[in-house]
Amino acid sequence: MTDVEPIKCDLCVIGSGLAGMAAALFAANRGLSVVQMGHTGEIIFASGMLDLLGVYPVNEKRSWSEPWAALDTLMRDNPEHPYARLKEADIRAAFDEILTFLAETGITYHRNIDHNSGVLTSLGTIKTTYAVPHTMWNGVKALKEKPACLIIDIRGLKGFSARQIVAALNAGWSNLRSARISFPGMDHLNEVYTEHMANALLLPHNREKLAGVVRPLLKDSKIVGLPAILGLYRTHEVLSQLEERIGVPVFEIPTIPPSVPGLRLKEAFERGLRPQGVRYFSLTRALNVRQKVEGQFETQIGRDAVEHIVHSRGIILASGRFIGGGLQAGRKHIRETIFDLPVYQPDSRRDWHHRDFLDSRGHLINQAGLEIDDAFRPLDDTGRPAFETLFAAGSILAHNDWKRLKCGAGLAIASAFGAVKSFVD
């Protein structure tokens, strides 16, 4: 069914991954009326950590403890990278605004403002990142101080091995131990899922039971690491109750996707943006978009058939890459799925990937995406902005290779900031 009256707004945000959510927040905070649509996107697969810039240049695999110095170098060397369209002050302001919003929704992040931090992963490797969920922060400190530490894994949980973590780190962290437990009430299951355990821990009596299983295993350990399951919401309450009952600090270790910290982010944005007036149509897509007159777009949205029509002065295209659905790889070409905008890509499919998956140069397909101007407007075939008020943000942008540079969330947040700023100006 189609609404008789089109919904009128200032800005239509296509996409509800991290870039779309950040764009909706920045726009609402600046007094714009916003309509947003999209499916889940990559956000629920993400670890919950917010990377700014961890590695540069890719072929040297140089890891940086000072992300702002890394950014400075990247911006100088690589003017095509979307970060180079922004000033450092804007990227800092974007992070401040997002982290303040998340804290208000109950998800506190910690960071060393000018430094990256190391976070222990489920493989026993150390991930360099910038902003860390508060549930993982004790782990950041433990990695530096190396106290006696117990890592717990859970029978039936795939992709998480406390023994592997300990084996990987024991050389430099001798008093690290592992133990395996059954999650209370799930010991009869062959396979257990992080979301189910996180849900169970919303109930205080399940936290009591979990603490009761962990406490006897503690021995001389001064801190305990668990898979990231400490509640889908109310993580402060879950963490502090577990710490009190177990008797030592506790931290989360990110798991393989789908990830509870990613789900928390998604839920926090949805919950927090509603009171800001953002009208979000979840599980819908932009089916068709056209420009009615200069400066006014009509976007038809729905699941399969048109359910609503949105009239907006501008659009932010945050539709992601291949997983999100913003780019589609055909047999020969990569195309942009909504406006059919030109996509920067290698001339031939043969050049999408190097032969070696781990090639230190990275793969050219990861550079594919939309070329933009300094205002984050996608360019047409002539190199001019395709539309005066169409902006793009997030992983759909060309030249970003976020996976290798370790800049996924930072790029999404900063480019959304740049796009909204350009629209407002």
Ligand X SMILES: Cc1cc2nc3c(=O)[nH]c(=O)nc-3n(C[C@H](O)[C@H](O)[C@H](O)COP(=O)(O)OP(=O)(O)OC[C@H]3O[C@@H](n4cnc5c(N)ncnc54)[C@H](O)[C@@H]3O)c2cc1C
**For ligand X, which is the closer residue by CB, 207 or 336?**
336
Nearest-CA neighbor of 179 among 221, 230, 240? 221
Q: Minimum distance between the CB of residue 200 and ligand X, rounded to whole angstroms?
A: 24
Residue among 425, 420, 327, 408 nearest 83 (CA): 408
Residue 335, H or E segment: strand 334-336
CB 14 within 8 A of CB 388: no
Q: Report d(CA 111, CA 129) in Å as an integer.
A: 9
Q: Which is nearer to ligand X, 43 or 192 (CB)?
A: 43
B/e letters for 87-101, b = 16+ CB within 10 Å, e = fewer, are eeeebebbbebbbeb
Three-state DSSP state, 99:
helix
Report, in Å, the least distance between residue 408 CB and ligand X. 3
CB 361 within 8 Å of CB 59: yes
Q: Is the CB of 14 or the CB of 71 nearer to ligand X?
A: 14
By C-alpha distance, which of 328, 292, 291, 290 is closest to 306?
290
DSSP codes of every residue in 348-405: SGGGSS-SSTT-TT--GGGG-BB-B-TT-PBB-TTSSBSSTTEEE-STTBTT--HHHH
Candidates 410, 415, 397, 399; CA nearest to 321 is 397
- Tell me the residue length of the chain: 425
Report how far residue 210's alpha carbon sits from residue 304's, in angstroms, rounded to the nearest whole number. Answer: 44
What is the closest distance, in whole angstroms, from the C-beta atom of residue 406 to ligand X in the complex? Answer: 7
Q: How far is the CB of 247 from ligand X (least distance, A)?
A: 31
Residue 49 vs 223, nearer CB to ligand X = 49
For the chain, what is the largest distance between any 2 Cα atoms, rounded to a whole number of angstroms? 71
Give the residue with the Cβ less far from ligand X, 151 or 370: 370
- From the CB of 352, what's the least distance to ligand X, in Å? 18
Nearer to ligand X, 150 or 401 (CB): 401
Toward ligand X, which CB reaches closer, 257 or 295? 257
Question: Which residues are near ligand X by CB under 6 A?
Answer: 14-20, 37-39, 41-43, 45-47, 49-51, 257, 285-286, 318-320, 323-326, 338, 394-395, 402, 408-409, 412
Give the span between the Cα atoms of 327 and 343, in whole angstroms. Answer: 9
Q: Find the shortest distance in angstroms from Cβ 19 to ligand X.
A: 3
Closer by beta carbon to ligand X, 154 or else 396: 396
Our CB check for ligand X shows the closer of 24 and 211 to be 24
**Sequence-ordered list of residues with C-beta below 8 angstroms from that of 154, at least 6 positions apart, any chain:** 160, 180, 181, 182, 183, 192, 197, 227, 229
Q: Shortest Cβ distance from residue 130 to ligand X (Å)?
A: 8
Q: How far is the CB of 156 from ligand X (least distance, A)?
A: 22
Shorter beta-carbon distance to ligand X: residue 98 or 214: 98
- State in angstroms the smallest separation of the CB of 309 from ligand X: 14
In angstroms, what is the minimal distance from the CB of 122 to ligand X?
12
Helix (H, G, I), strand (E, B) or coil at 294: coil
> What is d(CA 23, CA 284) in angstroms, rounded to the nearest whole number?
18
